[in-house]
Amino acid sequence: MLNPPVHPEKILILHSGGIGDLLMALPAMRVFRQAFPNATLEMMGRPERLALVAHDLRAGFLHSIDRAGMAYFYAEDASWPPGLGAFFSSFGAVLLFGGAGGNLLAKNVKRAGAGRVISILPFPPGELRVHVSDYLVESLGREGIEGENAFVPLQLPQEALTAAQGFFAGWGAKEGARILAIHPGSGSPAKNWPAENFSAVADWAAKRVRILLVTGPAEDGAEKVRRAMKKANPLTAENLPLIGLAGILKKCRVYLGNDSGITHLAASLGLPAIALFGPTDPEVWGPRGAGVRIIHDKKPCPPGSFESQSHGCDPWRINIDPNEVTEVLAPLLA
Per-residue pLDDT of the chain (334 residues; tens, 9 = 90+): 344 456 899 999 999 999 999 999 999 999 999 999 999 999 999 999 999 999 999 999 999 999 999 999 999 988 999 999 999 999 999 999 986 667 899 999 999 999 999 999 999 988 889 999 999 999 999 999 999 999 999 999 999 999 999 999 999 998 889 999 999 999 888 899 999 999 999 999 999 999 999 998 666 788 899 999 999 999 999 999 999 999 999 999 999 999 999 999 999 999 999 999 998 899 999 999 989 999 999 765 544 443 334 334 454 568 899 999 999 999 999 8
pLDDT of the residue at 227:
93
Annotate 143-171 with b (16+ C-beta within 10 A) or e (fewer): eebebebeeeebebeeebeebbeebbeee
Residues 6+ apart with CB under 8 A from 110: 117
pLDDT of the residue at 1:
34
pLDDT of the residue at 127:
81
Predicted TM-score (pTM) of the model is 0.92
Residues 6+ apart with CB under 8 A from 11: 32, 33, 36, 39, 40, 41, 42, 91, 92, 93, 94, 95
Q: Is 68 helix (H, G, I), strand (E, B) or coil?
A: coil
DSSP string computed for 171-182: TTPPTT--EEEE
d(CA 175, CA 191): 33
d(CA 140, CA 300): 36
pLDDT of the residue at 2:
41
Residues 6+ apart with CB under 8 A from 207: 231
pLDDT of the residue at 300:
52
- 22: left (phi > 0), else alpha (psi -120 to 50), else beta? alpha
Q: Is 208 helix (H, G, I), strand (E, B) or coil?
A: coil
CA angle in degrees (0–180, nearest 5) for 248-253-254: 95
Instruction: Report residue 43 CA to chain centroid gap.
Output: 16
Domain 158-333, second-level architecture: 3-Layer(aba) Sandwich (3.40)
Give the tens place of pLDDT for each residue, 84-125: 999 999 999 999 998 666 789 999 999 999 999 999 999 998
Q: Whose CA is closest to 255, among 179, 178, 181?
A: 181
pLDDT of the residue at 98:
82
pLDDT of the residue at 107:
93
What CATH topology corresponds to 10-141? Rossmann fold (3.40.50)
pLDDT of the residue at 279:
86
Beta strands in the chain (DSSP E): 10-15, 40-45, 59-64, 93-97, 116-120, 179-183, 210-215, 235-238, 254-258, 273-277, 292-296
pLDDT of the residue at 165:
95
Give domain limits for the chain. Answer: 10-141, 158-333
Are both 10-141 and 158-333 of the same fold? yes
